[in-house]
Amino acid sequence: MKVLLLGGTGEARELAGLLTGAGIDVLTSLAGRTTNARLPAGEVRSGGFGGADGLAAWLRTHPVDAVIDATHPYAATMTAHAIEAARATGVPLLVLRRSGWTPEPGDDWQPADSHADAAAMLPALGARVFLTIGRQGLDAYAGTGLWTLARCVDPPEPPPSWCELLLARGPFSEADELALLREYRIDVLVTKNSGGAATAAKLRAARQLDLPVVLIRRPALPAEAETVSSVEQAAQWVMRQNPA
């Protein structure tokens, strides 16, 4: 059995290891946007497919038994392309999406539908902003006039002149996040509702310091997408597709 795994997340790496350990041939496709990315078990390809039509053409010339979309919860375009290509070729598709975060007592979360909405909210919330949204979408915050720290894995191109960049790769501990928030005297945190334990420490740190968090909502998944929220569920689904 061979599986095409659209990866780039911790869940994708975990699933690739689990499936290859079970004797399943896994090809993980990475977008190639992150330098020195942690590679999963099995075969790896890098770069896009050329939209839904390009992915469908690839599936016709590289037959696989199943496709799993385990991309980032905000990779809505890739998910839409995967659904369209699977429908066109008849290849079974599963979307693996970890659950989003939910607020706990003491949290001050301000939901936003987009980066533009989040940027518009900031002047009323604080004067010193910490962005943990990655390098895509930074430009939406350039006009706030607020002091801003932006943490990214890779530097944006071209580097923005309106904010201070902090290049670092997580996961970060709660103690690390507390120290950072205090060092830079942060008033408000902006992040995406990515979910998962790996990047949740910043939320606990913000809670300890009574800081507001502007949380950008996830894009909705298409209704027709078959979806699971755990690696174990995804592995079980693959086993059910096994033609053997």
Residue 242 has pLDDT above 90, yes or no: no
From 89, 90, 88, 68, select the one nearest 79 (Cα to Cα).
68
pLDDT score for 163: 97
pLDDT in tens, 131-142: 999 998 999 999
pLDDT digits (tens, 9 = 90+) for 175-189: 999 999 999 999 999
pLDDT at position 39: 85
Check residue 21 and give its pLDDT: 95
Residue 41 clears pLDDT 60, i.e. is over it: yes
Share of residues in the chain with pLDDT > 90 (%): 83
Q: How many residues does the chain have?
A: 244
| Measured distance CA(10)–CA(73) in Å, rounded | 12
User: What does the pLDDT average to over 42-63?
Assistant: 94
Domains delineated in the chain: 2-98+220-241 (3.40.50.720), 109-216 (3.40.50.720)
Judged by average pLDDT, the poorest of 30-39, 81-90, 191-200 is 30-39
Sorted by sequence, the CB contacts under 8 Å of residue 86 that are 6+ apart come out as 59, 67, 92, 93
> Could you read off the pLDDT of 54-79 as tens digits, one per residue?
999 999 999 999 999 999 999 999 99
Query: Residue 241: what pLDDT?
Result: 87
The owner of tokens 């079970």 is 22
**Quick one: pLDDT at residue 224?**
86
DSSP letters, the chain, are: -EEEEE--SHHHHHHHHHHHHTT-EEEEEE---STTPPPPSSEEEES--SHHHHHHHHHHHS--SEEEE---TT-HHHHHHHHHHHHHHT--EEEE-PPPP---TT--EEEESSHHHHHHHGGGT-SEEEEES-STTGGGGTTS-SEEEEEESS--SSPPSSSEEEE--S---HHHHHHHHHHTT--EEEEE---SSTT-HHHHHHHHTT--EEEEPPPPPPTT--EESSHHHHHHHHHHH---
**What does the alpha-carbon distance between residue 100 and residue 84 come to, in Å, rounded to a whole number?**
25
**Average pLDDT of the residues in 84-112:** 96
Region 184-201 average pLDDT: 95
